[in-house]
Amino acid sequence: MGDILTVRQLSEQIRRTVEGKFPYVWVQGEVTNLSRPASGHVYFSLKEGECLLNCVWFRGRQREQRFDHLTGEVFEEAPRPCLAALLQTGQSVICAGSVNVYASRSQYQMIVDLAIDAGEGLWHQQFEALKRKLASEGLFDRERKRPLPPNPGRVAVVTSLKGAAVRDFIRIAGERGTGAEIRIFNTPVQGEDAPPLIAAALRRAAEDGWPEMVVLIRGGGSIQDLWAFNDEQVVRAVRACPVPVLTGIGHEIDTSLSDLAADASAATPSHTAQMLWEERSQMKRQLVQAEQALFQSMDGIFSLFESRTETLSRTLRLLSPAARLQEKANALSHSVRLMNVAMQSTVSLNARALEKLAAALSRKASLAESRAPALQSLVHRLQIAGGNCLSLAERSADQLGARLFALDPFAPLKRGYAFARTGSGAFLHSVTQAQPGDRIAVQLADGTVTARVESVEAHP
C-alpha cells in the first residue's frame, strides 16, 4: 500500500498538475449560465453537449482588443471594443486564458483574458487570407491610388436606397460645396447576393464616362453585415474602376478590403461627403481672403506703375528738346535785358555829360561875349562831338542787337528755314541720322509738321 495522502495534499497535487499542464489555453464553446454582478466581473460557462467549463472574466482583464489574436491583424485606427459587455447566452465564442483549480471546493475554472466571437474568428481568418493574396498582386499599393477631384460636380453613388447612409450623404452634400449632380446606383449591400450586384453597379456607374468619381457607401453593422465588401469580386471591381473611388463603409473602426483597394476611404458614409466638398462658410472665407489679396496686389501694381510713370515723366522733361529750346530762349531774353540796361546807362551818362558841358558853356557865355565867334565855334564843335558820340552809341546798339538777333535759334524759322528732329527728339545734322521709313518732326515758324522719310540721298 502506497503513501496515504491527505485531502489537502491530493487537492494540491491536482492543482499543480492541472495548472502546470494548462498554463494558457484557447477553448471554444457556447455561452451559458451568464451572470454580470455589480462587481463588474462576468461569470459564465462554456458548454459543449453535456460538458461545462466554468469561466470568470474579471473586470481588470476586460480590455479593448488592439489586435486580432487569431490573425495577427493590428487595429491601427481604433481598438475593437471588449466582448465582455456584449456576451449573450447561446453565443459561440473562443476564450483564451488559464485554468485555475479551487482545491477547497475540488473545482476548476477558466480565468478568461480574452474572448472573441467564434464566427468572427473564422471571418477574420478568411479576411486575412484574401488580404494577403490581393496585396501580393499590388491591389493595395499606394502608387496605384489616384487623387480625388477637388469639389467634384458629377458623382456616382453606389449604395442601397433603403439605408440611412444615402440619405445622410445627400443631406450633407446639399449643405456643402457649390452644388453637384449626384446619381444613385441602387444595389443590395448585404447578403450572399450582394457581391456580384455591387461589382456590377460599380461597372455600370462608370461605363458611360459621366462621373468624375464613384462613391461606395454603406452604414454600420457586424462583420457579417459588411462582409460583401470583403468579397474578391467587389474588391477587384473597386480597383478596376476607371475613375477614382471613395469608400465609406461601416463605422470608423471598420476596415474592409474594398477600403484598402479604393483610392481613398472615409470613416463613415457621412464623412465621404465631408471629404468631397468644403463647408460653404469656409469657402466664403477663402473667397474673401482671395479678394483681399487680389486688391492688395492690384494696389501694389498700381503704385509701382504710378512711381515708374512719374520717374519716366521727369526724365522726359529733362531730356525734351522743347525744354532745351526754352532754356536757350530764357538765356537770350536775359541777354537782351542786360543789353538794354547797358545801352540806357551809356545814353544817360552821355546825356549828363552834355548837360554839364552845356551848363559850363552857359556860365562862361556871359564872360566871353567878346569872344562870341570863338565861343560859337567851340559850341558848334561840341555839338558835333556830342552828335558823333550819340551816333557811335546808336551804331554800337545796332550791332549788339544784330548779334543778339543772329543768336536767336528761332529767327531763321521766320526766313523760311526749318528744324528737323528724329522720333526721339534729337536734331538732324546729317543724312546718316535718318533711314527710309523713319518718322521725323519738322518745326517751322508757326508749328510742327510730322513726316515719314521716303529716301535718303547724301551730297558729294
pLDDT, tens digit, 9 for 90 and up, residues 275-321: 999 887 776 777 778 888 888 888 888 888 888 888 887 777 777 67
Q: How many CB atoms lie within 10 A of CB 28?
A: 13
Q: Which of 268, 290, 291, 287 is nearest to 279 (CA)?
A: 287
pLDDT value of residue 385: 74
Q: Which residue has the higher pLDDT, 331 or 269?
A: 269
- Answer whether 75's CB lies under 8 Å from 128's CB: no
CA–CA separation, 185 and 201 (whole Å):
6
For domain 7-127, give its CATH number from 1.10.3720.10, 2.40.50.140, 3.40.50.300, 3.90.1150.10: 2.40.50.140
Q: Which residue has the higher pLDDT, 66 or 433?
A: 433
**Is the per-residue pLDDT at 74 higher than 60?**
no
Q: What are the pLDDT digits (tens) for 414-452?
A: 777 887 888 777 878 787 788 888 888 888 878 888 888
**Is the per-residue pLDDT at 197 higher than 90?**
yes
Task: Name the band, by pLDDT with cuts 50, 70 and 90, for residue 39.
Answer: very high
**Grid cell at residue 51:** 460538458
Q: How many CB atoms lie within 10 A of CB 117?
A: 20
**Is the per-residue pLDDT at 122 higher than 70?**
no
**Grid cell at residue 308:** 515708374
**Is the per-residue pLDDT at 164 higher than 60?**
yes
pLDDT value of residue 365: 64
pTM score above 0.75: no
Q: Which of 162, 223, 207 is nearest to 187 (CA)?
A: 162
- Answer whether 263's CB lies under 8 Å from 146's CB: yes
- Answer whether 187's CB lies under 8 Å from 159's CB: yes
pLDDT value of residue 372: 62
pLDDT value of residue 67: 61
pLDDT value of residue 119: 66
CATH architecture of 139-278: 3-Layer(aba) Sandwich (3.40)
pLDDT value of residue 435: 82
**Is the per-residue pLDDT at 186 higher than 90?**
yes
Q: What are the pLDDT digits (tens) for 351-410?
A: 788 888 878 777 776 665 666 666 677 767 777 877 777 778 778 777 777 777 666 777
Q: Which of 273, 281, 47 is nearest to 166 (CA)?
A: 273
